[in-house]
Structure formats: structure tokens, C-alpha cells
């Protein structure tokens, strides 16, 4: 075998070994499996050059040599999976209350639903992108107010939040079958991005627990 | 009796290694062909065979001819003498070997006797022989195919996949399904549910007639001039619902007091203020 | 980007994806992750050529594409070889019969082998992941049909079931015809996941994975 031919074989052997190994290979381990005449240092340089600018690179890692995906192509190894999920009944009701009664605090939602709202429910709704934290109510404890987003209008095909049907229309559509007690308040939802008189902006530090006392300079 | 050493035959059944089995198989084939019919006792060991078809195939190969050109008659005779020998030695043979022997005896008779075409559907001796030859060829073909499959460069044996695959990280995005109908239904049903559960009958503040009369007696004791009755009651009109009951009760009480001659009432027109004073006759005490 | 530049990028992307995976990738799955302008067929040819004569080769396997070490380097990699369970002669024959005659019922396997199949034989083969229960034959008794899996193709280095060794000769000799005597139609082994006309699906309850109901609460 000429030197060129045997060098080519050694390079192929090195390549195959590194490819098939389930962990990075130390130079000593590679040498042990290559013919004695092989010049490992030289082969590693050659193999590195062969893969230069390619989709895969030969890397010297802390524990040896291994092939790795080129860094700029890492995004290829991230699959974006979309999964369709249905909202739970609790989430749907909470969303509806926020839509109709916004700006609404968690306590108000709970008061209307008559049950406590799990943190998970609001988290799921925030994840949908349909609701958002608006600000803080100017009442003791300064609770966060929730409202709907433009995405909400888009998803539910509404031109404006005022297009949500009122109680009478709900009744007309057969969604409300028994009469509500007279005087049941029908809220006027407000998703105006500008905060109302009763709302303060959220602090920069979103979850700062300290109650900020208003100064009346 | 047998050329097989005990160790040799004992090794056979438990062997799982296909290569070793194949070698054993080759040995067996050689032994069968070397021995020929002169020593049928050689073939009595059936432990290494996978059923009668396998045995037949081994016998067929001992004829050292292409399976396609094999003499089925000779094969049948070979098999039958094998079985005969086994019986002579009182060896236990599995039932399917005996069934095959019976069938081959029938086949042999069909091949030797001239064809009697009494039934159109019945296969001739030649057709039966061809069918058996086909089955033998097919079994051999499958056996060869298995060997060829196992001889292929196999994953994890001769060829290797990436040893350290870089797995795709799946980033899950959830999209939520909900339509306006779901939303409205949820709102309507919870409003309705809640309206039923939260109706409370408020305890209403009601002035009794007696309470109103006592109040009027106390206040009107010293009124000699016509005075709007509301002036006396206004301090009790704190809340709208209280105003209603105060007015209703005191009006009824005042009518009662007029009837009793304790009070005089005057109203200039419908919905005009109602004036009240103590009657002259009973106005014993000067107010001034 | 010029065509040459974008083609080079596409080639790198293809290489990175195939190199990262230890399983064959289907063309549809690769395409989904390449830009629309990429010509996958052309890229695959280019990539194959790039790896010709190297220690690692691009192979068409199990109806997909994968990198595998070169066959002639098997000697080098025996350290990586997995301990394989030895299959009995009965299991090997049964595997071959299922592969070449699929979909095949147990009765058909037994008819070819001339001996009854012990339960253990099929169990061992199912455990290898090379065969699977396909469905039920639309004949009296509705016997289960067996066929091979994509893992079978991958393990035996086959591009498709039509590439089984000696398939054409067997077909030509009429040896894949299970009917006696050798008749006219020459069946082809069929590992199509879709059931054929003569097969019914296995019962829903039999091997169905548990239905996962999503819930976010």
C-alpha cells in the first residue's frame, strides 16, 4: 500500500470510529484502534479540514473528539411542535368573565364565578395570548387587573370588545334559558389599552409584593 | 447402531446459534449422503429435524441432485424405510412424522399404479409429487433467504449508525381551540348558575304603622301652622328604600290620626306637598 | 443570496439533519425543515457524492435516508457491536417467511415450514421489533396477519421490502405463491402500513395505546 492509499484508509477509519462512537473518543483510544503507522495528529487535522464549513464539524471537547452539528445550524435540531388543546371549562369561564367584566381582578373573577380560581387557569389563559395583565386596581392590596388583548378579538372574530353580545342577546340566542333576576348588572367591558382612573400601571418589578403607598404631595 | 457420538447428538437440540446449526446441518447432510441407503440406521436420529418436511428436505439433499429434478418416488421410499427402521428400534416418533409416512405411502402407491381417473377433482400421482417437490423447494428457498438476510451487513453488527445522535429538541407550542360559541356558553351558563346561587332576600327596613303614629304624635304635638309633612320625615329618608316605607307608613298613620281627630291634612293638588297641623280644638297649648 | 450560496447552505442543513439522527429520515420530514426553494433530490445526490469512498456513507434505508459507517470498515468497529440475541433456526425461517410472504398468518407460516410454530418463536421475533401484528385476515377465524417493520428494513440494510435478497428469483420460480400447485399470480411481499383488501384492523382494544386526553388543569 502506498502512503497515500493507507493514509486515506486511516482517515476513513478515524471518521467511522468517531461517527459510530456513543461518546467522544480520547486520542489514546483512537490510536489503539488504528494501525501503528497512522499519524493521528495529522489525521485529526485533515479530518477537521474536510468538515470545515460543512453542516457537521469535528470538535475537540473536554473529554475527547466528536462530531457535532455546526453551531449555526443548531436551530435545525429544534422541532416546533404545535398541539391543539382545548380550554378547560374553568379556563373558558374565567376568560369569559375577564372579557365581559374587564378590567377585572382575580378576586372579582372569583366573586362572579363563586369558586376560587387556580393559578394554573390564569397561566393557561395568559399563555393563549388572549388575556394580559393590565395594571393594578387603586384599592387596598392593589390587585392586578386582567383584560383581553387584540389577539382575543382576532381569535374570536370580534371587531371590538363592545360587540360581545349582551344578556338579552344571549337569552335571544337561547344561551341563557331562565331569566336572570331583574337588575342583574350587565357590565360594560373596557379593553382600552390606556389605564382607567381606577388603575395604576404595573410596576416594573411585576411581582413586587410590597404595597406601594401613595404619596399625596 | 448409530455413527453419531452421544455428545454430537446431545448438542443439537439446544443450539440456538444459527451458524453452529448451519454447520451441524452440513454435517448431517454429509452423513446422510455418505451413508446412503446401505446404512439406514444412521438416519434414525430425528432430534435435529424441525418436522417431517425438514427431514424430507434433508433426505432429498442426500440425493445430491437439484431439488427440481428430484425423484419423489425415491424420496418417499427413503423416508418410509427411515420410519420403518425407527419403528423397528421402537423409537418414539412424533405423530406428524407418521402422518407424513402414511401420506407418502399413499403417494407411492399412486405413483406406481396406473392412474385411474375416477374423480375429476382428484390430483394424479404426478401432481401430488409435484406439490410435494414444490413444498420442499419453497422451504429450502426460505431457509436460503434467511441465511442471505443474516449475511447482510446488519445495523449494529457490520454497519453502524451515529453512536451519539444529537436528538431533535421538540419545543411545544400549544394552540388553543375555543370559539365564540364556547366562550358565550361558558359566560351565560356561569352567569345563570351564579344568579341562582347568589339571590339573597334582603331584610327590608319597614316602619310599622304604630312606629309612624308614635313619631307623628311626638313631632306634631306643637304644630299649629300648616307645615309640609316631609319636613318632619326628611331626617329618616337616609336611604331610598327607607324613604318609601317611612312615607307609606306615616301617610297611613296620619290618615288614621285625622280620623281620630288628632290631626288635619291638606293637599292643594295631586302630587303637591302634603301639609299637616294640629286641629284648633285640640291645640290647647300656645306654641309661641 | 445567490443560488450557489443558498445551495451550499441547504446542503449543510441536509447534512446536519441526517448526521444528527441515528434513524433514517423520510424525505417528507427533511423537506419540511428545509427552505421551500431547496431541491431535495438534487441535494441528496450531491451529498451522496460528497461521502463516496469515505468512512461514512449516505444510504437510502427503510424508505428514508441515513448516514451509516462504510461496510468494509466493519472489522474496525466490532467494539461498538451490540450483543445480539441469537435466533433459533425456527425463528430465522419464520422471519424469512414473514418477510417474503407478508402479510402472512401463522397457519401460512406453518404450512410452509411443515411444522407447528411454537408461541416462543413469534414472541422472540416480535421482541426484536422486526415483525409486527398487521391486522386480521378476512377469512374464517379471522387470523392475525404478520408483517415486517421499518426497523426490519433498517436492521438488514434494505431500502424497501422490494429489495429483499433473491426476491426476483423467488418470484420467478413461483416460490412466493402460497397456493398449491404453483399458480398464476405472483404475489409481492407487502409491508405497507395500510391494510390490504383482505385485512381488517386489529381490534381497537387489543393493542391500542391508551388514548391520552389532554387537560390543562
Please report the pLDDT score of residue B17 as a whole number.
40
Mark out chain A residues that contact chain C at CB-CB < 8 A.
Answer: 11-17, 19-22, 33, 53-56, 67, 69-70, 73, 76-77, 83, 85-88, 90-91, 118, 120-121, 124
Q: What is the rounded average pLDDT of the residues A177-188?
A: 62
Q: Is residue B229 a contact partner of residue B254, using CB atoms and an 8 Å limit?
A: yes
Q: Select the residue from C13, C19, C23, C58 to test the A interface by mutation, using most A Cβ atoms within 10 A.
A: C19
pLDDT band at C100 (very low <50, low <70, confident <90, very high): very high
Secondary structure of chain C as H, E, C letters = CCHHHHHHHHHHHHHHHHHHCCCCECHHHHHHHCCCCCCHHHHHHHHHHHCCCCCEEEEEECCEEEEEECHHHHHHHCCCCCCCCCCCHHHHHHHHHHHHHCCEEHHHHHHHHCCCCCHHHHHHHHHHCCEEEEEEECCCCCCEEEEECHHHHHHCCCCCHHHCCCHHHHHHCCCCCCCCCCCCCCCCCCCCCCCCCCEECCCHHHHCCCCCCCCCC
Q: Is A158 on the interface with B (CB under 8 A)?
A: yes
Smallest CA–CA distance, residue A98 to chain B, in Å, is 10
C143 contact partners, CB below 8 Å, separation of at least 6: C105, C106, C107, C136, C137
Smallest CA–CA distance, residue A105 to chain C, in Å, is 20
B69 contact partners, CB below 8 Å, separation of at least 6: none
Q: Which residue has the cell 450531491?
A: C46
Q: Is residue C126 a contact partner of residue C132, using CB atoms and an 8 Å limit?
A: yes
Q: Is residue A115 a contact partner of residue A121, using CB atoms and an 8 Å limit?
A: no
What is the widest separation between alpha-carbon atoms in chain B?
A: 162
Q: What is the rounded average pLDDT of the residues B4-11?
A: 37
Instruction: Tell me which of C66 and B204 has the higher pLDDT.
Output: C66
Percent of chain B surpassing pLDDT 70: 69
- The residue of chain A nearest to residue C215, with distances taken between CA atoms, is A88
Chain C residues in contact with B141 by the CB 8 A cut-off are 166, 170, 173, 175
Chain C residues in contact with B11 by the CB 8 A cut-off are none
Q: Is B148 on the interface with A (CB under 8 A)?
A: no
Cell of A146: 386582567
Beta strand pairing call for A78-86 and B169-177: parallel
Do the chains contact at C114 and B168, CB–CB below 8 Å? no
A16-20, B23-27, C11-15, C165-169: the lowest-pLDDT one: B23-27
Please report the pLDDT score of residue A211 as a whole number.
44
User: Radius of gyration (Cα) for chain A, nearest Å?
Assistant: 32
Do the chains contact at B149 and C80, CB–CB below 8 Å? no
Q: Angle, nearest 10°, between helix axes B125-150 and B95-112?
A: 130
**What is the average pLDDT value for chain A, to the nearest integer?**
81
Compare CB distances from C13 to A17, A55, A91 and report the shortest one's residue: A55
pLDDT band at A177 (very low <50, low <70, confident <90, very high): low
Do the chains contact at C71 and B146, CB–CB below 8 Å? no
Q: What is the DSSP string of A177-194?
A: -SPPPTT---------SS
Do the chains contact at C20 and A118, CB–CB below 8 Å? no
Instruction: Tell me which of B285 and B103 has the higher pLDDT.
Output: B103
pLDDT band at C95 (very low <50, low <70, confident <90, very high): very high
Distances (CA, A) of C156 to A95, B286, C104: 55, 126, 20
Q: pTM score, two decimals?
A: 0.57
User: Radius of gyration (Cα) for chain C, nearest Å?
Assistant: 21
Do the chains contact at C214 and A69, CB–CB below 8 Å? no
Do the chains contact at C113 and B168, CB–CB below 8 Å? no
Q: Select the residue from C10, C20, C23, C68 to test the A interface by mutation, using most A Cβ atoms within 10 A.
A: C20
- The residue of chain B nearest to residue A76, with distances taken between CA atoms, is B168
Q: What is the rounded average pLDDT of the residues C98-122?
A: 88
Q: Select the residue from A12, A46, A80, A84 to test the C interface by mutation, using most C Cβ atoms within 10 A.
A: A12
Compare CB distances from B160 to C80, C95, C158 and report the shortest one's residue: C80
d(CA C56, CA A16): 6
Strand partners, C58: C67
Q: Is C182 on the interface with B (CB under 8 A)?
A: yes
Q: Is residue B154 a contact partner of residue C82, using CB atoms and an 8 Å limit?
A: no
Express each pLDDT in B193-210 by its tens digit.
766 555 455 555 677 778
Chain C residues in contact with B161 by the CB 8 A cut-off are 22-23, 66-68
- Give the B window 175-194 contacts with A, CB below 8 Å: 175-180, 182-194
User: Radius of gyration (Cα) for chain B, nearest Å?
Assistant: 59
Contacts by residues B204-207 (CB-CB < 8 Å, ≥ 24 positions apart): B204/B241, B204/B245, B205/B239, B205/B241, B205/B242, B205/B245, B206/B245, B206/B249, B207/B245, B207/B246, B207/B248, B207/B249, B207/B250
Amino acid at each position: 500500500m502506498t502512503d497515500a492509499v493507507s493514509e486515506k484508509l486511516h482517515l476513513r477509519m478515524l471518521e467511522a470510529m468517531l461517527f459510530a462512537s456513543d461518546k467522544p473518543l480520547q486520542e489514546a483510544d483512537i490510536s489503539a484502534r488504528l494501525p501503528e503507522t497512522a499519524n493521528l495528529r495529522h489525521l485529526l487535522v485533515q479530518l477537521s479540514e474536510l468538515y470545515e464549513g460543512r453542516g457537521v464539524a469535528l470538535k475537540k471537547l473536554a473529554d475527547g473528539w466528536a462530531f457535532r452539528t455546526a453551531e449555526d445550524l443548531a436551530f435545525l435540531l429544534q422541532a416546533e411542535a404545535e398541539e391543539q388543546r382545548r380550554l378547560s371549562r374553568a379556563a373558558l369561564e374565567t376568560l369569559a368573565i375577564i372579557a365581559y367584566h374587564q378590567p377585572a381582578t382575580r378576586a372579582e373573577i372569583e366573586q362572579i364565578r363563586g369558586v376560587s380560581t387556580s393559578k394554573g387557569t390564569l397561566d393557561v389563559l395568559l399563555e393563549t395570548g388572549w388575556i394580559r395583565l393590565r395594571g393594578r386596581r387603586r384599592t387596598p392590596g392593589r390587585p392586578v387587573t386582567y383584560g383581553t388583548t387584540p389577539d382575543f378579538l382576532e381569535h374570536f372574530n370580534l371587531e371590538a370588545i363592545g360587540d360581545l353580545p349582551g344578556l338579552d342577546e344571549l337569552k335571544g340566542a337561547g344561551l341563557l334559558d331562565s331569566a336572570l333576576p331583574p337588575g342583574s348588572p350587565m357590565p360594560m367591558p373596557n379593553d382600552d389599552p390606556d389605564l382607567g382612573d381606577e388603575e395604576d400601571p404595573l410596576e416594573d418589578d411585576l411581582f413586587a409584593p410590597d404595597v406601594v403607598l401613595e404619596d399625596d404631595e | 447402531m448409530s455413527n453419531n457420538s452421544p455428545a454430537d447428538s446431545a448438542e443439537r437440540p439446544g443450539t440456538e446459534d444459527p451458524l453452529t446449526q448451519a454447520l451441524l446441518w452440513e454435517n448431517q447432510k454429509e452423513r446422510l449422503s455418505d451413508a446412503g441407503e446401505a446404512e439406514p440406521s444412521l438416519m434414525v436420529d430425528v432430534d435435529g429435524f424441525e418436522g417431517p418436511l425438514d427431514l424430507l428436505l434433508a433426505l432429498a439433499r442426500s440425493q445430491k441432485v437439484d431439488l427440481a429434478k428430484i425423484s419423489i418416488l425415491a424420496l418417499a421410499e427413503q423416508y418410509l424405510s427411515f420410519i420403518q427402521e425407527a419403528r423397528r428400534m421402537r423409537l418414539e416418533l412424533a405423530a406428524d412424522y407418521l402422518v407424513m409416512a402414511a401420506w407418502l405411502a399413499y403417494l407411492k402407491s399412486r405413483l406406481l399404479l396406473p392412474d385411474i381417473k375416477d374423480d375429476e377433482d382428484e390430483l394424479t400421482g404426478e401432481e401430488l409429487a409435484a406439490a410435494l417437490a414444490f413444498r420442499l423447494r419453497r422451504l429450502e428457498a426460505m431457509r436460503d433467504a434467511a441465511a442471505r438476510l443474516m449475511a447482510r451487513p446488519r445495523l449494529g453488527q457490520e454497519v453502524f449508525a451515529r453512536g451519539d445522535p444529537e436528538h431533535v429538541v421538540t419545543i411545544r407550542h400549544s394552540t388553543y381551540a375555543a370559539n365564540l360559541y364556547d366562550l358565550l356558553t361558558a359566560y351565560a351558563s356561569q352567569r345563570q348558575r351564579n344568579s341562582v346561587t347568589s339571590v339573597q332576600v334582603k331584610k327590608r327596613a319597614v316602619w310599622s304603622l304604630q312606629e309612624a303614629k308614635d313619631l307623628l304624635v311626638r313631632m306634631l304635638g306643637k304644630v299649629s301652622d300648616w307645615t309640609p309633612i316631609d319636613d318632619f320625615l326628611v331626617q329618616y329618608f337616609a336611604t331610598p328604600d327607607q324613604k318609601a316605607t317611612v312615607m307609606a307608613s306615616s301617610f297611613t298613620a296620619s290618615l288614621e290620626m285625622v280620623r281620630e281627630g288628632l290631626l288635619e291634612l291638606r293637599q292643594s293638588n295631586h302630587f303637591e306637598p302634603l301639609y299637616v297641623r294640629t286641629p284648633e280644638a285640640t291645640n290647647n297649648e300656645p306654641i309661641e
